[in-house]
Chains A and B, each alone.
Chain A
Amino acid sequence: MSPVDFTWLIGGPQGSGVESGANIFSKVCAEIGYQIFGKREFYSNIKGEHSYFAVRVSDENIHSNVNEVTLMASFDAETIFRHYDDVSSNGGIIYDSDLDKTSTEDVHTLDDPFKERLHKELESRNKPFTISGVIEIAREKGVNLYPVSFRGLLADLAEQTENPKLKGLVRMYNVLGVSLSLGLIKMPPDSLLKSIDMIFSKKPQIAEINKQAANYAYNFATAKFSNFSHNLTGTTKQSDTILVQGHYGTSIGKMVSGCRFQSYYPITPASDESVYLESNEILQIQNDRPGSTIVIQTEDEISAMGMMIGAALTGVRSSTSTSGPGFALMTEAIGWAGINEVPVVITLYQRSGPSTGLPTRHGQDDLQFAVNAGHGDFPKIVYASGDIEESFYDTGRCFNYADVYQIPVIHMMDKFLSSSVVTCTKFDPNKISIDRGQLLEKIEGNEYKRFAFTGDGVSPRSRLGMDNGVFWNTGDESDEFGHISEDPQVRIKMMDKRMSRLDLALEKIPDDEQVVSFGVHEHTIISWGSTKGPILDAISMLKKEGIDIGFIQIKLIHPFPTDHVKSLLKDAKTLIDIEANHSAQLSKIFKQNVLRDINYYILKYTGRGMTSTEIYDSLKKIVKNKAVKREVLSHGA
């Protein structure tokens, strides 16, 4: 039996329940054993603009979306206009037959550049600018069409259940879409009802109505449509699989790592993490009274940074979470944390810049900025996670780096990760260790020096409020006590002491924490962050065709592990850099350190994440010697 690889797409206006529809679908699929990779795309808007969720389902491990959609569930016209072309030739489209005559002019949220492209296409195919027009094109391509009158469905249901309220209950269209889909692919209905119960667990009455509608739609689809060739009837369930949202890795990671103070200012796509931490602020502690994460919403990101540092000075593991614009405001204080050797972790969920940029879209534009954030010369660590599961363990590492080397750590995440929903192996807290470095438990005597010169550049650390541990901090250059000093010799010694910890970090952090090698071949990819998933999937697609591509995922970006990267890549002849930004920022850092050229670039900066299909296509061109040096990807609405 060939492996299941099925992509379901649901779309609709923001606020119409696209996300809960996708959550129900993902839960149902995961429940019967499938692996899930889902990703949400949305506008910077509260209600009305187009959002969609593509959920890829497989019985093998998957780490990305693909270009083609197997089944699309749409309940508005815009979704059909925007995505009809994504559906594969033997796939299907469920759509509201009442929309047949809707024209592109009727849909006010279709923007001009998109309409222009669509009209051109429709014109060339001699089709009207209506839903019938695009549906006709899909039909000609071989797509199976499932027209359903959503209004009619609800009216019938209202009559049957003698509940006139159901009639015209547009809010239920999402559940109808999911249920029709599940009926079409013959998925067992019981998990559908269970999922609805879970999603609406706080609103039992709403759950009840939704379940009635779900049942009705499900039965309607199974009775009426039988020609869809894709079935998802279940597979062997792997134990200890969890279904997680994008920010769960860092947020649960922070709880486990002992982060007890988080200050933040609201920003997409970072605030979900802080809100989650606050929702779970009381923590269960083994053999002890409950602990807590104190989450403070501040007046701006400068304050978030200042408060975090103030808390960290009391010895508390402290953190903030932000995105590019907020991070830009934090940079002055990062330097303060640097010169004062304060361990803090900044979780940086990148989005597309510059400025407000594409505020709800993906980008890896802030790598060089993170490396260079803050004026003056001071040490920091920049560490990048490749997927949600990894980000859990990396959060633990980041706090250890911060404590052990007493420096600020910037943990690079992004919107691709934050708006994904995936299955992965249950996080194992026991794989995280807590190393607080030279944090003192007790101080005797009167001569404590916070910035004492030691052999390895790390001074034993007191905390505000500790007995006998009085110290001073200053953003000025200082002596060993922390008092201002402008003495040139003290300056040399202090600068050397601080900066030496970059070498110490490179020496002490294990190689496989710095760079992860997925094999090195003649053609080898270098990349960082969330491109990992689509790269891995593209590599395995090529492997099935007998093509081997290497891949090293660089996680420690600063200090850059030059020697280790050099030695890993010594047998690679053709280097391919893959990044979601315009200027191939990792490659610049790479070239500056490794003094080696990159042969090909695969870049994307549309704000939409890469799919494995896109990377597969680009890699194949490279292998066949038909590629341009800089390939720019653009898939995705």
Chain B
Amino acid sequence: MALKLADYKTNVHNDWCPGCGDFGIVNALQMALAEMGIQRDKATIFSGIGCSGKTSHFINTYGVHTLHGRVLTFAQGGKIANPEMTVVAVGGDGDGLGIGAGHFVAAGRRNVDMTYIIFDNGVYGLTKGQASPTLKLGEKTKSLPSPNTNYNVNPIGLAVASGFTFVARGYSYDVRHLKDLIIKAVKHKGLSFLDVLQPCPTYNDLNTRDWYAGVDLTKESIERHSRIYKLEDTQYEPVVHYDSEIEVNEKMSQALIKSLEWGNKIPTGIFYQNELVSPYETRITDKVPNYLENPPAKQQISTSEGKPATDVSDILDSLIV
């Protein structure tokens, strides 16, 4: 049965602040699921803690609202145990790049075939606006007692350096573009990362919707000048086409340089994609040839009499004295 967009919405009351950028992300995610026609019971949204953590409750698929910083660990475990599932992990930038930064790096090294979306707003919203890892050094949002004393993390650059094989950025107020990026990310074979710029209307009074739209820049020029632009509208070519060190290094360096662009011009779209790196599932299959046909979630472990189906007699016989 073909599913409609409405089928992916739950009737859980959404208590995000009016004007929150998160709405655009949850809409894009629901639209992407509907467009791909993924059955509700064949997808799981894993989420972290914070405002963005509630996302899984608003989407009518399996939803696992995990622990602060740990969403990638739960998601990878679920995906590896049941590789047929579509897995999308979501969380805030504090969740994924502060408390969860170690898991972020380790996940990149694994390259499990799933998607991770960071709701990137520069603040810890649910705890009243403390500085989060992507806020720039020296910036002072309204609820900070003094300017931020930490240098910011570069999510795109960190993802590329950690081994993510699909690295992109979206903007939560460009829902259609974001939806397309999510579909590309989900279809990518390997771990895909989406950094989604998402204004927090309550606590981040610097990176607001108007700021991204370049309203302040109109003083300098008459025409509307959005800070956000799309890489696909430029000559930028993010895909690694062949497996050579020169090609990979070139595409990686290009993505790293591009990831540093900020200020009056902020790129969105795909920064880097490399499907020539084996997904973790393939690496398991190298050791366990029938892993994908018979993954943990499909295995029969007991006989009809409730006795163990596993035959360890070879092991036990080898221990006989």
Residues of A within 8 A of B (CB): 27, 30-31, 237, 240-244, 248, 252, 255-258, 260-261, 263, 280-286, 288-292, 294, 296, 298-300, 302-303, 305-318, 332-333, 336, 396, 423, 426-427, 429-430, 432-436, 463-476, 482-484
- Out of A427, A436, A475, name the residue touching B66 (CB < 8 Å): A475
Contact B302 A258 (CB under 8 A): yes
Known: A243-B319, A464-B82. A310 touches B300 (CB 8 A): no
- Which residues of chain A come closer than 8 Å to B157, judged between CB atoms? none
- Interface check B37, CB cutoff 8 A: no
Contact A432 B73 (CB under 8 A): no
- Which residues of chain A come closer than 8 Å to B310, judged between CB atoms? 255-256, 258, 283-286, 291, 429
- Interface check B51, CB cutoff 8 A: no
A311 to B295, CA, bound (A): 11
Known: A257-B308, A294-B81. A427 touches B316 (CB 8 A): yes
Nearest chain A residue, comparing its CB with the CB of B10: A483
- Provide the main secondary structure of the chain B interface: mixed
Contact B80 A434 (CB under 8 A): no
- Which residues of chain B come closer than 8 Å to A430, judged between CB atoms? 307-308
- Interface check B187, CB cutoff 8 A: no
Interface residue stretch chosen among B16-24, B132-140, B282-290: B282-290
Known: A303-B70, A307-B77, A429-B308. A289 touches B319 (CB 8 A): no
Known: A258-B310, A465-B82. A309 touches B303 (CB 8 A): no
A35 to chain B minimum Cβ distance, whole angstroms, is 10
Nearest chain B residue, comparing its CB with the CB of A288: B300
Known: A465-B44, A470-B62, A472-B57. A263 touches B77 (CB 8 A): yes
A8 to B102, CA, bound (A): 47
- Which residues of chain B come closer than 8 Å to A298, judged between CB atoms? 73, 106
- Which residues of chain A come closer than 8 Å to B319, judged between CB atoms? 242-244, 248, 426
A498 to B103, CA, bound (A): 30
Contact B312 A310 (CB under 8 A): no
B49-77 contacts to A (CB < 8 Å): 49, 54, 56-57, 60-67, 70, 72-77
Known: A285-B300, A464-B44. A316 touches B81 (CB 8 A): yes
- Which residues of chain A come closer than 8 Å to B258, judged between CB atoms? none
Nearest chain B residue, comparing its CB with the CB of A31: B321
- Out of B294, B311, B315, name the residue touching A286 (CB < 8 Å): B311
Contact B80 A294 (CB under 8 A): yes
A476 to B54, CA, bound (A): 10
A-B pairs, 10 with minimum CB distance: A258-B301, A306-B73, A310-B77, A307-B77, A299-B106, A311-B81, A310-B78, A434-B302, A260-B296, A474-B65
B104 to chain A minimum Cβ distance, whole angstroms, is 10
- Which residues of chain A come closer than 8 Å to B10, judged between CB atoms? 483
B67-120 contacts to A (CB < 8 Å): 67, 70, 72-82, 84-85, 102-103, 105-106
- Which residues of chain B come closer than 8 Å to A313, judged between CB atoms? 64, 74, 78
- Out of A257, A282, A468, A474, name the residue touching B288 (CB < 8 Å): A282
Name which of B10, B72, B315 has the most chain A CB atoms within 10 A of its CB.
B315
For the A-B complex with A240-B320, A257-B308, A294-B284 known, give 13 more contacts whose Cβ atoms are closer than 8 Å: A30-B321, A284-B311, A292-B296, A310-B74, A310-B79, A311-B77, A314-B297, A333-B67, A430-B307, A465-B85, A472-B57, A474-B57, A475-B65
Contact A308 B321 (CB under 8 A): no
- Which residues of chain B come closer than 8 Å to A306, judged between CB atoms? 66-67, 70, 72-74, 77, 103
Known: A283-B310, A314-B82, A426-B320. A299 touches B54 (CB 8 A): no
Nearest chain B residue, comparing its CB with the CB of A430: B307
- Out of B65, B81, B105, B321, name the residue touching A261 (CB < 8 Å): B81
Residues of B within 8 A of A (CB): 10, 12, 40-42, 44, 46, 49, 54, 56-57, 60-67, 70, 72-82, 84-85, 102-103, 105-106, 284, 287-288, 290-291, 293-297, 299-303, 306-312, 314-316, 319-321
Contact A242 B320 (CB under 8 A): yes
A367 to B262, CA, bound (A): 53
Contact A292 B291 (CB under 8 A): yes
Nearest chain A residue, comparing its CB with the CB of B54: A484
- Which residues of chain A come closer than 8 Å to B60, judged between CB atoms? 470
- Which residues of chain B come closer than 8 Å to A255, judged between CB atoms? 310, 312, 315
Name which of A257, A288, A473 has the most chain B CB atoms within 10 A of its CB.
A473
Nearest chain A residue, comparing its CB with the CB of B43: A465
Known: A292-B291, A292-B294, A465-B42. A433 touches B64 (CB 8 A): no
B24 to chain A minimum Cβ distance, whole angstroms, is 22
B81 to chain A minimum Cβ distance, whole angstroms, is 4
Q: Could you list 28 A-B pairs, sorted by A, with CB under 8 Å?
A: A30-B321, A252-B312, A258-B299, A258-B302, A258-B308, A260-B301, A261-B296, A289-B290, A291-B310, A292-B290, A298-B106, A299-B106, A300-B102, A303-B102, A303-B106, A306-B74, A310-B64, A313-B64, A314-B296, A318-B77, A463-B82, A465-B42, A465-B84, A469-B41, A470-B60, A474-B56, A475-B65, A484-B57
Contact A309 B316 (CB under 8 A): no
A466 to B74, CA, bound (A): 18
Known: A310-B78, A473-B63. A468 touches B41 (CB 8 A): yes
B292 to chain A minimum Cβ distance, whole angstroms, is 11
A318 to B76, CA, bound (A): 13
A296 to B296, CA, bound (A): 13
A289 to B85, CA, bound (A): 22
- Out of A286, A291, A299, A433, name the residue touching B299 (CB < 8 Å): A291
Contact A288 B321 (CB under 8 A): no
Nearest chain A residue, comparing its CB with the CB of B45: A472
A292 to B296, CA, bound (A): 7
Contact B67 A475 (CB under 8 A): yes
A288 to B65, CA, bound (A): 36
A434 to B302, CA, bound (A): 6
- Out of B42, B72, B102, B316, name the residue touching A426 (CB < 8 Å): B316
Contact A336 B301 (CB under 8 A): no
Contact A470 B308 (CB under 8 A): no
B310 to chain A minimum Cβ distance, whole angstroms, is 5
B112 to chain A minimum Cβ distance, whole angstroms, is 10
Known: A248-B319, A427-B316, A468-B41. A307 touches B302 (CB 8 A): no
- Which residues of chain B come closer than 8 Å to A305, judged between CB atoms? 73
- Which residues of chain B come closer than 8 Å to A467, judged between CB atoms? 41
A260 to B78, CA, bound (A): 12
- Out of B42, B49, B57, B301, name the residue touching A475 (CB < 8 Å): B49
- Which residues of chain A come closer than 8 Å to B42, judged between CB atoms? 465
- Out of B56, B302, B315, name the residue touching A280 (CB < 8 Å): B315
